[in-house]
Amino acid sequence: MEITQKLLLNAEVTRRVLVAFLRRELERFGFRRAVLNLSGGVDSALSCFLTAEALGGENVLALLLPYRTSTPESAEHARQVIGLTGVSSKTIDITPMVEPYFEQYQQMSDVRRGNVMARMRMIVLYDHSVQWQGLPIGTSNKTELLLGYGTLFGDMASAVNPLGDLYKTQVRQMARAVGVPEAIIQKAPSADLWVGQTDEGELGFTYAEVDKLLYLLVDERYKTEEAIAAGFDRQFVETVVQRMRASQFKRMPPVVAKVSRRDVGHDFLYPRDWGT
Amino acid sequence: MLKLRVGLAQISPILGSVPENLQLHLERIEEAKEQQVQLLCFPELSLTGYVLKDLVPHVAMAATESAPAIAELLTASESMDLLFGFVEEDKRHRYYISAAYLSQGRIVHVHRKVYLPTYGMFEEERYLATGDRFRAFDTRFGRLGVLVCEDFWHISAPYALWLDGADILLLISASPGRGLSPEAVLGSSRSVELINQTYATFLTDFVLHCNRVGVEDGLNFWGGSTIFGPDGRLVAQAPYFEESLLVAALDLGAMRRVRMQLPLLRDERPDLLYTELRRMLRESRVPSREQ
């Protein structure tokens, strides 16, 4: 079977699981409302559709948080999602929040500036989570998580993430099935942190290619040599494996130095959903 | 015609709250009573929830008639036989995933889960001790056998119960849903259904599978509880993902008819298997925990 075939999913079954997950994981902590950052991209669009279905559009607050260089297309696409899902929304320009910091460091790299913006958006998200009395919903997909392609405590921050076990190509399938506009699904993925940035340009490979490789390495537990034998370029495989290894810390809570008989992190192991 | 009215209570327990789950059991028992159910099954760890980790000692109880939750269920078992799941603590403070069968105010049988999955997403053996026996037991409805989830992924477990005389297998699970494909069922559901149907066909037994639903720590439990007849055909199935009480009347006479057509039980050679197993164990060909 073609590897591409193995990434195909039944949208109806997946939707049922994810919607039930969102509903239950919020309700068990006493929440009926949710808040999420809507970028105009396909990931946050899908999160928004699923959350609106789980809780009702009136219980979801979508935040549009543009910076002065953000493309107008992003805002337009975000507005389409808001219209289709019936969620509440708020637009807050983060430019006046981040500019004073950027002025302190004239020589900041794009990556540093991008991280600051992503973390500023996290601050606004979590602040509105209190004001809106809703939990922050995640928008990071499995591809990003495995590659560490995201800002720690920035766009990777959330309370509940419905997309974390869907590869980018699966996010696209789901997005199409739930009714995300085709223009959002088809456009080049971009964090839109600086002009001309695209995910695939920055990563150096396409999601379609890397998803197939990640599926073999992670889901099917292929060894590097087996992935190469399956037809992937050696350098590509080694780059991806190295990316996963180097970003492992991003997928874990901060490591705790153990000194007692029982510590948070090693052997104080209660379930997250304790008593719910 | 000898009929047995069974119910499978596909519930979503509250994680770590025995009192709330006991209430949930009593509600389902009332509902089943209205439908004249004679034997009602609950899923694995129905009194406690599944992803317990360090909660194990908090929710554990002795498998005795004086344990408060069990005492209440014993009272309820005056109206119908019950099978439910809980964490059992033995006198030496070992903890087990257990299933108790109650009938007419008595504990008839307790099965301690033998195979504790400790791989992938599972970590049962980190927190729990393993059971050490597969035993069928007599009830007013015939001789039954109980297995818990991973137990029935080992083909020897239902086989042992079958040889021990079980005509009805009660399999209970907290099976996490996983495995996406273009198919309209999850891979885990497909596998479990196939396994259950295969057992029913090979053993010419009734095979009941009671799975739970709900979500815990990001795991979804897919439900889809099934009843397969001794001819391997599906008698009834509960919906996927939704709480439900599946009720069906088992035609116990079907076992005789099927076993006339297909005398697998009559022709089985456990003595031959025993001889061969002894040889294999002697020659160290069989994986053993002692090695």
Q: What digits encode the pLDDT tens for the residues A139-162?
A: 999 999 999 999 999 999 999 999
Question: Which tens digits make up the pLDDT trace of B96-133?
Answer: 999 999 999 999 999 999 999 999 999 999 999 999 99
Question: pTM to 2 decimals?
Answer: 0.94
pLDDT at B291 over 70: no
Token digits of residue A73: 């297309």
Residues 6+ apart with CB under 8 A from A15: A50, A53, A174, A177, A178
Give the pLDDT of residue A276.
81
Q: Residues 48-77, chain B: which have Cβ within 8 Å of A? A: 51-55
B51-B70-B43-A163 Cα dihedral, nearest 10 degrees? -30
ipTM summary value = 0.91
Question: Which tens digits make up the pLDDT trace of B173-195?
Answer: 999 999 999 999 999 999 999 99
The closest of A139, A147, A108, A144 to A121, measured between CA atoms, is A139
pLDDT at A196 over 90: no
Q: Which residue out of A6, A8, A17, A21 would a mutagenesis test of the B interface target, given it has the greatest number of B Cβ atoms within 10 Å?
A: A17
Q: Within an 8 Å CB–CB cutoff, is residue A270 touching chain B?
A: yes
Chain A residues within an 8 Å CB radius of B187: none
The residue whose two tokens read 């317990």 is B52
State the smallest CA–CA distance between residue A152 and chain B in angstroms: 21
CA atoms A13, B150, B97, A261: torsion sign: negative
Cβ–Cβ of A271/B51 closer than 8 Å?
yes
Q: Residues 68-107, chain A: which have Cβ within 8 Å of B? A: none
Question: Which tens digits make up the pLDDT trace of A78-133?
Answer: 999 999 999 999 999 999 999 999 999 999 999 999 999 999 999 999 999 999 99
Minimum CA–CA partner of A17 in chain B: B220
Cβ–Cβ of B51/A269 closer than 8 Å?
no
Cβ–Cβ of B215/A21 closer than 8 Å?
yes
Give the strand pairing for B3-10 and B39-41. Answer: parallel
State the smallest CA–CA distance between residue B31 and chain A in angstroms: 24
Q: Within an 8 Å CB–CB cutoff, is residue A9 touching chain B?
A: yes
Instruction: Quote the DSSP letter at residue A249.
Output: G
Q: Cα(A173)–Cα(B176) distance, rounded to whole angstroms?
A: 23
Cβ-nearest to B55 among A14, A20, A270: A270
Q: Residues 128-187, chain B: which have Cβ within 8 Å of A? A: 177, 180-186
Our measurement of the distance from residue B49's CA atom to the centroid of its chain's CA atoms, rounded to an integer in Å, reads 15
Instruction: Kindly provide the b/e burial profile for residues B33-61, where b requires at least 16 CB atoms within 10 angstroms of the residue's own CB.
Output: eeeebbbbbbbbbbbbbbbbbbbbeebbb
State the smallest CA–CA distance between residue B59 and chain A in angstroms: 11
Give the pLDDT of residue A1.
65
Compute the radius of gyration of chain A from its Cα atoms.
19
State the smallest CA–CA distance between residue B60 and chain A in angstroms: 14
Please give the share of chain B, as a percent, with pLDDT higher than 90.
97
Cβ–Cβ of B17/A9 closer than 8 Å?
no
Cβ-nearest to A274 among B55, B182, B240: B55
Give the pLDDT of residue B290.
60
Residue B148: strand pairing partners: B172
The closest of B56, B60, B175 to B127, measured between CA atoms, is B56
Q: Cα(A186)–Cα(A171) distance, rounded to whole angstroms?
A: 12
The closest of A163, A144, A172 to A251, measured between CA atoms, is A144
The residue whose two tokens read 């490591």 is A255
Cβ-nearest to A10 among B182, B215, B241: B182
Token digits of residue B26: 């009593």
Cβ-nearest to B216 among A14, A269, A273: A273
Q: Within an 8 Å CB–CB cutoff, is residue A273 touching chain B?
A: yes
State the smallest CA–CA distance between residue B199 and chain A in angstroms: 27
Token digits of residue B121: 């997403």
Half-sphere exposure (Cβ direction) of A154: Cα atoms closer than 13 Å = 20
Q: Within an 8 Å CB–CB cutoff, is residue A24 touching chain B?
A: yes
Token digits of residue B122: 């599972």
Q: Cα(B191)–Cα(B183) distance, rounded to whole angstroms?
A: 13
Cβ–Cβ of B55/A276 closer than 8 Å?
no
Question: Which tens digits make up the pLDDT trace of A125-142?
Answer: 999 999 999 999 999 999
